[in-house]
């Protein structure tokens, strides 16, 4: 697959610029991290060559200087808010993040429960963390936030929040998802630090939108598609243009809040260090693109994938027609359509050839399109997966990787003992059967060795897939889309 992004250069430049910010802030910087720290798969999809763990690698270069502060909104705990890409609640993700940071040797200083107003679920979570030796601090709602600046920057505003004890020059402020209150926590800390006579600074680590790419560049449009649920819109940063005469791209929430943020910083520090929201960011991603065509192609594919996700959510009643129009507008602005996703037409054609039975198509790294149909033994997703592994291993298409005599007892178990109506094997069951066959079948062993080469491949299904198949493709790193229709007319689907 074509790459267009220099990951090593990115890690180097980001590290250098963060060190500069620490130094200019007086050796104490609160760095708000936007996006995902460990697994930024969106960035890896739209910037081919970007590693999902790039941010962590960058932090590992500064591990002696850095500590982690995780923020979670009390309301998100109370509502059991779920992180869509992982399917776990925000409070569970906090625990996952703490473990992940500890496992690589990064110090987690504390957890902040923001917007705390006595929510019982938040109190329970606080006790759970403290029982594990994790420091927990509470930050409270401030009436009139964020516009009542005299109250916010006072002992009755930020001053009511618990002061977070930190020990490192770089405090990385992260969260399970957007809207957690990272910026408010950073600013509250600045207020407390300056009351104690400690000089400190604030910056943002943002990857998207990329400030030095054009406003309608597909990468920036893909960011709009990814944050459509937040109603984010990319726009020219008017403050940067006025201050420097240079056109840069930011997003509406940062531009809209900047006058307020600037006033808060001025009230705390005496003078704001920034003239624009672009100034606040540390983002060198645009300087690390070496093949813009490859990056644009990848971003267009991401927009199409997001469009298919939106169609599914509309089918489920979670989106309305107006939001679908927004995705269609983004595709038009990016000069792309579903016709540019080759696996779509291949899957639909295969379905037509088999009397509208479910079918799937997968594009290999070398551009070959592999299809799979529904059979008495395998679902279409399982079939396309096995066919792709055969193609990658150079095994004849008609070769049986798994003997039918192996599959039939599994079907018997599913239907007669586990209560399943569908006897066909899902992708996870197929891979388990393949791994068992690999012990005695050299071709099955060769096919298993090709699993890692599926990462980054594109696949499309002619019907909505069962969640187990969705999860399997996700674990394999395959980029999945499907038509917004079920195989049956049943009202209940698993």
Inform me whether the pLDDT recorded for 105 exceeds 70. yes
Q: What is the CATH number of the domain that holds 45?
A: 3.10.630.10
52 with 123, same domain: the answer is: yes
Give residue 378's Cα distance to chain centre.
31
The residue length of the chain stands at: 494
The answer to whether position 309 is within a domain reads: no
Q: 171 forms bridges with which residues in the sheet?
A: 30, 67
Residues 97 and 195 in one domain: yes
Q: What percent of the chain has pLDDT over 70?
A: 98
End-to-end CA separation in angstroms for the chain: 34
- The answer to whether residues 262 and 379 belong to one domain is no
Taking all residues of the chain, what is their mean pLDDT, rounded to a whole number?
93
| pLDDT for 231 beyond 90 | no
In the prediction, which pLDDT does 34 show? 76
The pLDDT, as a whole number, for residue 489 is 62
CA–CA separation, 186 and 172 (whole Å) = 10
Q: Select the more confidently predicted residue: 33 or 307.
A: 307
Same domain, 177 and 48: yes
Q: Which of 13-27, 84-98, 192-206, 216-230 has the lowest mean pLDDT?
A: 84-98
- Overall pTM > 0.75: yes
What does the pLDDT read at residue 422?
78
Confidence of residue 423 (pLDDT cuts 50, 70, 90): confident
Identify the band that residue 46 occupies on the pLDDT scale cut at 50, 70 and 90. very high
Structural domain tally of the chain?
Answer: 2
Residues 259 and 377 in one domain: no
* Structural domain ending residue among the three candidates 260, 288, 316: 288
**Tokens (6 digits) for 353:** 């050839």
332 within domain boundaries: no
CB atoms within 10 A of CB 242: 10
Calculate mean pLDDT across residues 209-217.
97
Query: Do 353 and 275 fall into the same domain?
Result: no
**Greatest C-alpha distance within the chain:** 77
CATH number at residue 370: 3.40.140.40
**Can you give the residue range of the structural domain that contains 276?**
7-213+250-288
**Per residue in 82-99, pLDDT tens?**
886 677 899 999 999 999
> Does residue 162 lie in a domain region?
yes
Chain segment 129-157, per-residue pLDDT in tens: 999 999 999 999 999 998 899 999 999 99
- Cβ count near 157 (within 10 Å): 21
Query: Which pLDDT band, with edges at 50, 70 and 90, does 403 fall under?
Result: confident
Do residues 266 and 352 share a domain? no
Do 188 and 255 share a domain, yes or no?
Answer: yes
Last residue of a domain, one of 288, 317, 338: 288
Residue 488 has a pLDDT of 67
Residue 316 counted as domain residue: no
Query: Could you report the per-residue pLDDT of 162-208, keeping only the tens digit for each?
Result: 999 999 999 999 999 888 999 999 999 999 999 999 999 999 998 99
How many beta carbons lie within 10 A of that of residue 244, not counting itself? 14
pLDDT for position 419: 78
Are residues 20 and 147 part of one domain?
yes
Q: Do 32 and 157 lie in a common domain?
A: yes
Shared domain check, 284 and 356: no
Task: Specify if 293 maps to a domain.
Answer: no
Which of 182-191, 207-216, 330-339, 404-413 shows the lowest mean pLDDT across its residues?
A: 404-413
29, 22 Cβ separation under 8 angstroms:
yes
**Domain match, 272 and 412 both:** no
pLDDT of residue 493: 52
Q: Is residue 437 part of a domain?
A: yes
Question: Would you say residue 300 lies in a domain?
Answer: no
Would you say residue 2 lies in a domain? no
pLDDT digits (tens, 9 = 90+) for 258-316: 999 999 999 999 999 999 999 999 999 999 999 999 999 999 999 999 999 999 999 99
């Amino acid at each position: 697959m074509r790459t267009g992004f220099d990951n090593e250069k990115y890690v180097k430049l980001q590290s250098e610029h963060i060190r500069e910010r620490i130094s200019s802030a007086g050796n104490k910087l609160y760095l708000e991290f936007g996006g995902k720290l460990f697994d930024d798969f969106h960035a890896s999809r739209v910037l081919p060559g970007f590693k999902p763990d790039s941010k962590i690698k960058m932090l590992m270069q500064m591990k002696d200087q850095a500590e982690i502060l995780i923020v979670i909104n009390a309301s998100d705990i109370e509502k059991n808010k779920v992180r869509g890409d992982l399917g776990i609640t925000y409070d569970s993700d906090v625990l996952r993040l703490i473990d992940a940071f500890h496992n690589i040797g990064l110090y987690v200083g504390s957890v902040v429960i923001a917007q705390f107003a006595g929510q019982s679920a938040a109190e329970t979570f606080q006790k759970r963390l403290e029982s594990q030796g994790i420091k927990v601090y509470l930050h409270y709602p401030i009436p009139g936030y964020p516009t009542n600046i005299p109250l916010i920057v006072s002992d009755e505003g930020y001053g009511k929040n618990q002061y977070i004890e930190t020990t490192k020059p770089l405090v990385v402020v992260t969260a399970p998802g957007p809207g957690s209150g990272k910026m408010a926590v950073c600013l509250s800390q600045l207020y407390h630090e300056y009351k104690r006579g400690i000089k400190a600074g604030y910056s943002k680590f943002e990857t998207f939108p990329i400030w030095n790419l054009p406003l309608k560049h597909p990468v920036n449009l893909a960011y709009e598609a990814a944050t459509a649920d937040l109603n984010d819109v990319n726009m020219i940063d008017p403050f940067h243009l006025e201050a420097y005469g240079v056109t840069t791209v930011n997003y509406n929430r940062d531009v809209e809040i900047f006058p307020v943020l600037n006033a808060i910083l001025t009230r705390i520090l005496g003078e704001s260090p920034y003239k624009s929201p672009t100034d606040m960011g540390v983002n060198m991603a645009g300087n690390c693109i070496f093949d813009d065509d490859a990056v644009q192609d990848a971003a267009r594919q991401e927009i199409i994938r997001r469009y298919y996700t939106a169609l599914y959510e509309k089918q489920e009643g979670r989106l309305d027609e107006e939001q679908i129009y927004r995705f269609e507008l983004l595709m038009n602005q990016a000069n792309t359509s579903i016709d540019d996703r080759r696996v779509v037409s291949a899957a639909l054609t295969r379905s037509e050839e088999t009397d509208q039975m479910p079918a799937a198509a997968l594009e290999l790294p070398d551009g070959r399109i592999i299809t799979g149909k529904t059979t008495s033994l395998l679902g279409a997703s399982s079939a396309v997966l096995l066919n792709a592994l055969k193609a990658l291993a150079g095994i004849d298409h008609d070769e049986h990787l798994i003997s039918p005599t192996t599959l039939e007892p599994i079907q018997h178990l599913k239907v007669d003992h586990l209560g399943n109506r569908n006897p066909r094997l899902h992708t996870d069951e197929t891979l388990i059967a393949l791994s068992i066959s690999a012990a005695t079948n050299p071709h099955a062993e060769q096919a298993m060795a090709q699993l890692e080469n599926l990462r980054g491949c594109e696949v499309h299904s002619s019907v909505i897939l069962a969640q187990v198949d969705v999860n399997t493709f996700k674990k394999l790193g395959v980029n999945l889309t499907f038509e917004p229709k079920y195989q049956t007319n049943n009202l209940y689907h698993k």
